[in-house]
Amino acid sequence: MELGTLNQAFQEVEDSKPVEDIPTTTHVQLEEKVADPPANEYTQIKPYAGMPKEVLLLYSSQACYRVPREILFWLIVACTLTLVALTISVVALSPRCLSWWQVSPVYQVYPRSFRDSDGDGVGDIKGIQEMLGHFEYLNIKSVWISPIYRSPMRDLGYDVEDFRAIDPLFGTMQDFDDLLAEMHKLGLKLIMDFIPNHTSDKHRWFNLSRAREPHYEDYYVWADCSATGPKPNNWVSMFGNSSWTYDEVRGQCYLHQFLKKQPDLNFRNPRVRQEMLDIISFWLDKGVDGFRMDSVKHLLEAAHLRDEPQVDPDKPPESVVSEWDLHHDFTTTQLGLHDLLREWRAQMDDFSREPGRYRLMVTESQDGPEVEKTMMYYGTPLTKESDFPFNFYLLDLPQNTSGLWVKHLVNLWMANMPTGRWANWLVGNHNIPRVASRAGQRYMRVINMLLLTLPGTPTTYYGEEIGMENINVTESQIQDPAGRYNASASRDPQRSPMQWSADPNAGFNNKTNMTWLPVHPNYSRVNVEVQKQDEGSVLSQYRLLNTLRQSELPLQRGWFCYIHADRGVFAYLRELDGLDRAFLLVLNFGHESAVTDLSAITELPGRLRVLISTNRANDGKVFSKSLIATEAGEGLMIEFSSRARFNTNHPGMCYVSEKACYLAAMDILYTC
Ligand code: BGC
Ligand code: MG
């Protein structure tokens, strides 16, 4: 704008106002300034720069400028606030990114049996490292390794002599560090076993405690008794007989809820609590990604040491010898237990702050039908404990293979899990006979299909991905101490060497003929190498389903809706709002072939094409939704196009008779 135009503007302002409105001095000064602007370079180039305060005041005092400016101002404020509110709601409503432990199954390695690198017959850390490619092949990211701490091996590693050392049988601390570094390089997470309830009787603390060394005197649970007299009470060990053993050095009895060689620590002693926190820090400092916490319900016992009530009060007290003979009112789930777990969780949270370094906490506690006790390990909405307590309910699956039964077991977890938490599933571990032997090889594929398509994290016990079965163990071959008390309780059958190939010893080792437990005779057929070549094998299907589970959001975090259960078939949907791809699972756990009618599910299209069948010959088959045929032990995964919930007249969250569905997305659980 030219200087002249500016003057004209000033003049217009002048003209629009009666002269008396404007103070004279201003008028005079204005005239002077405008008529004779200072002749410096700045005003010549930018005439506005010299606009005097009075002119600005003049403009601002005029309503015709102030009103639009104020409107503009408030409009900007309103827009900014709306934008901020929108951003906050989008962030709050968007599903959180799933963490590593939710995306991948957890794979349990029993280290004695995975791979023996040095040919001594026992698996080791270097052996695990040699086989990391297996996890990449399966698309598994989380690996839990059963105990590898220094141990006299009376409970094969669950009796720890030094929580900060690696047992030489498995290798050295350097081997461990190498394994961890290599796993992290490959994007794999390592979960350690943590055994807080007891130590080995060879642990330094126990020797100091039995010698009543100051500081250590109360590290364990001691009670008065004599060498030959009665025990302090009727409590029994999980492995049978009294849970009290007289110690000659101290002249008192110590408590052991497991073997005699596994004295229980005294968690009422703050020093013991601190020791455990320090041990957790030791491994987290090293970079381990989480812990599976062993036998947590046994951590505390009632201080009054009263007898536990007998299951059958009419039986003589001498007949009480096994855990099944008593109600464990005073030896499990005592007040204060959850405080301990919260303490550990808080410690792990401290280490989880680093971005991408979330530390997982899983608790092991078998509470049988008392499902609400198990659920308490999730913590409360304000204080978190485990990311998940292990779900042992599907261990009962082989008892009764029917669709209704499987649905019942699944529902035990889903209906009782606290709102907003994450489910998990397993069908085996080192303590339970193998699922392929209990349910039958015929059901292995459909069981894996169930585990990999339910909402939540599945845990796979090594060998389940190829359908490994129990071995027969003769009396002289028994390794498990529990089996020495009672041969039928031996856990050896499910701990046999991993079957890698048809080579000698199933490729478990290649230097000797020796393995700590026999290899299953079916190894030439049931092994990783052979099954890799066969598209229809248990292994290939596991891999395919696991890959789909991780690439398909509806499977990972979508709705889970029961739609059908009968004597044979269990069927459910997985779908996610806003996504077109959805999945129908029709799993036949029965003993006969079945034809399932899903015509009542209006959401399903009339014709359904099979994406994956556990019987590969049926891949691609098209069924009418009223006639979906499955063979006994066959599972079908059917992909269909779902008109997303929010965009259509969806019947709601409830489907026909079953009337229940769950949303894993957004971490919210709905029951309807
Ligand atoms: C482990 C067993 C072990 C016991 C005692 C259990 O929870 O899984 O293998 O024998 O704890 O430590
Ligand atoms: Mg070895």
Q: Write the secondary structure of 143-211 as one string of H (helix), E (strand) and C (coil).
A: EEECCCEECCCCCCCCCCCEEEEECCCCCCHHHHHHHHHHHHHCCCEEEEEECCCECCCCCHHHHHHHC
Contact yes or no for 152/200 (Cβ under 8 A): yes
Closest by CA to 433, choosing from 491, 484, 481, 473, is: 491
Contact residues for 180 (Cβ-Cβ < 8 A; gap 6+): 190, 286, 287, 288
Contact residues for 336 (Cβ-Cβ < 8 A; gap 6+): 267, 268, 300
Cα of 172 vs centre of ligand 2, distance in Å, is 11
Cα of 159 vs centre of ligand 1, distance in Å, is 9
Structure tokens at 417: 């899990």
Q: How confident is the model at residue 646 (pLDDT cuts 50, 70, 90)?
A: very low
289 lines ligand 1 (CB under 6 A): no
- Mean pLDDT in residue range 354-369: 92
Atom of ligand 1 nearest to the CA of 195: 12
Mutate to test the pocket of ligand 1, among 200, 431, 432, 491 (most ligand atoms within 8 A of CB): 431
Give the Å distances, CA to CA, from 230 to 246, 499, 582: 10, 49, 64
Task: State the span(s) of the chain assigned CATH 2.60.40.1180.
Answer: 553-668
Q: How confident is the model at residue 654 (pLDDT cuts 50, 70, 90)?
A: very low
366 lines ligand 1 (CB under 6 A): no
Contact yes or no for 385/363 (Cβ under 8 A): yes
Exposed/middle/buried for 620, CB within 10 Å: 0-12, 13-18, 19+?
exposed
Predicted pLDDT of residue 568: 97
Question: Which CATH fold would you assign to the domain 104-195+282-294+359-373+384-546?
Answer: TIM Barrel (3.20.20)
Predicted pLDDT of residue 27: 41
Closest by CA to 468, choosing from 213, 169, 114, is: 114
What is the C-alpha separation between 261 and 200, in angstroms, rounded? 6
Q: Going by CA atoms, what residue is nearest to atom 5 of ligand 1? A: 158
Structure tokens at 360: 């997982």
155 lines ligand 1 (CB under 6 A): yes
Distance, first Cα to last Cα, the chain: 70
Cα of 121 vs centre of ligand 2, distance in Å, is 6
Q: Is the pLDDT at 229 greater than 90, yes or no?
A: yes
Please give the model's pTM, rounded to 2 decimal places: 0.86
Mutate to test the pocket of ligand 1, among 258, 367, 492 (most ligand atoms within 8 A of CB): 258
Q: Is the pLDDT at 6 greater than 60, yes or no?
A: no
Structure tokens at 254: 């110590």
Give rounded-to-5 percent helix, strand, coil for the chain: 40, 15, 45
Question: Which CATH fold would you assign to the domain 553-668?
Answer: Immunoglobulin-like (2.60.40)
Contact residues for 629 (Cβ-Cβ < 8 A; gap 6+): 593, 594, 595, 596, 623
**46-53: Cβ within 8 A, 24+ apart:** 47/1, 47/2, 47/3, 47/6, 48/1, 48/6
Predicted pLDDT of residue 48: 54
Q: Going by CA atoms, what residue is nearest to atom 12 of ligand 1? A: 158
Task: State the span(s) of the chain assigned CATH 3.90.400.10.
Answer: 198-264+301-334
Predicted pLDDT of residue 291: 98
Cα of 660 vs centre of ligand 1, distance in Å, is 36
- Mean pLDDT in residue range 265-270: 98
Predicted pLDDT of residue 487: 80
Structure tokens at 617: 């010959």
**2-7: Cβ within 8 A, 24+ apart:** 2/47, 3/37, 3/47, 6/34, 6/47, 6/48, 7/34
What is the C-alpha separation between 569 and 595, in angstroms, rounded? 9
Q: Going by CA atoms, what residue is nearest to atom 3 of ligand 1? A: 158
Q: Let me know how long the chain is.
A: 672
Atom of ligand 1 nearest to the CA of 431: 9
Segment 454-506, tens digit of pLDDT:
999 999 999 999 999 999 999 899 999 888 777 888 999 999 999 999 999 99
431 lines ligand 1 (CB under 6 A): yes
Q: Is the pLDDT at 134 greater than 70, yes or no?
A: yes
Atom of ligand 1 nearest to the CA of 491: 9
Cα of 153 vs centre of ligand 1, distance in Å, is 12
Cα of 428 vs centre of ligand 2, distance in Å, is 24
Given the DSSP bridges, would you call strands 189-194 and 290-293 parallel, antiparallel or unpaired?
Answer: parallel
Q: Going by CA atoms, what residue is nearest to atom 1 of ligand 1? A: 294
Q: How confident is the model at residue 58 (pLDDT cuts 50, 70, 90)?
A: low
Q: Is the pLDDT at 18 greater than 90, yes or no?
A: no
Find the ligand nearest to 167 CA: 2
Atom of ligand 1 nearest to the CA of 159: 12
364 lines ligand 1 (CB under 6 A): yes
Cα of 400 vs centre of ligand 1, distance in Å, is 26
Find the ligand nearest to 154 CA: 1
Cα of 162 vs centre of ligand 1, distance in Å, is 17
Q: How confident is the model at residue 172 (pLDDT cuts 50, 70, 90)?
A: very high
What is the C-alpha separation between 240 and 257, in angstroms, rounded? 9
Predicted pLDDT of residue 663: 55
Predicted pLDDT of residue 123: 98
pLDDT over 90, % of the chain: 74
Closest by CA to 156, choosing from 475, 482, 408, is: 482
Which of the residues 264, 364, 385, 603 is marked catalytic? 364
Contact yes or no for 541/615 (Cβ under 8 A): no
Contact yes or no for 668/558 (Cβ under 8 A): no
| Strands of the 581-588 sheet, one edge to the other | 622-624, 607-613, 635-641, 581-588, 569-575, 559-565, 661-663
Contact residues for 601 (Cβ-Cβ < 8 A; gap 6+): 563, 573, 625, 655, 656
Task: State the span(s) of the chain assigned CATH 3.20.20.80.
Answer: 104-195+282-294+359-373+384-546
Atom of ligand 1 nearest to the CA of 294: 7
Find the ligand nearest to 108 CA: 1
Find the ligand nearest to 485 CA: 1
- Mean pLDDT in residue range 639-655: 52
490 lines ligand 1 (CB under 6 A): no
Question: Residue for token digits 């017959």?
Answer: 121
Q: What is the DSSP string of 97-158?
A: PPPHHHHS-EEEE-GGGT--SSSSSS--HHHHHHTHHHHHHHT--EEEE---EE---TTTTS
Predicted pLDDT of residue 62: 62
Find the ligand nearest to 508 CA: 2
364 is catalytic: yes
Domain 198-264+301-334 has CATH 3.90.400.10: yes
What is the C-alpha separation between 429 and 537, in angstroms, rounded? 22
195 lines ligand 1 (CB under 6 A): yes
295 lines ligand 1 (CB under 6 A): yes
Which of the residues 116, 124, 201, 294 is marked catalytic? 294
289 is catalytic: no
Q: How confident is the model at residue 643 (pLDDT cuts 50, 70, 90)?
A: low
What is the C-alpha separation between 467 and 533, in angstroms, rounded? 15
Given the DSSP bridges, would you call strands 189-194 and 142-145 parallel, antiparallel or unpaired?
Answer: parallel
Atom of ligand 1 nearest to the CA of 482: 10
Contact yes or no for 555/104 (Cβ under 8 A): no
623 lines ligand 1 (CB under 6 A): no
Contact yes or no for 272/219 (Cβ under 8 A): yes
- Mean pLDDT in residue range 571-582: 86
Atom of ligand 1 nearest to the CA of 239: 10
Q: Going by CA atoms, what residue is nearest to atom 7 of ligand 1? A: 295
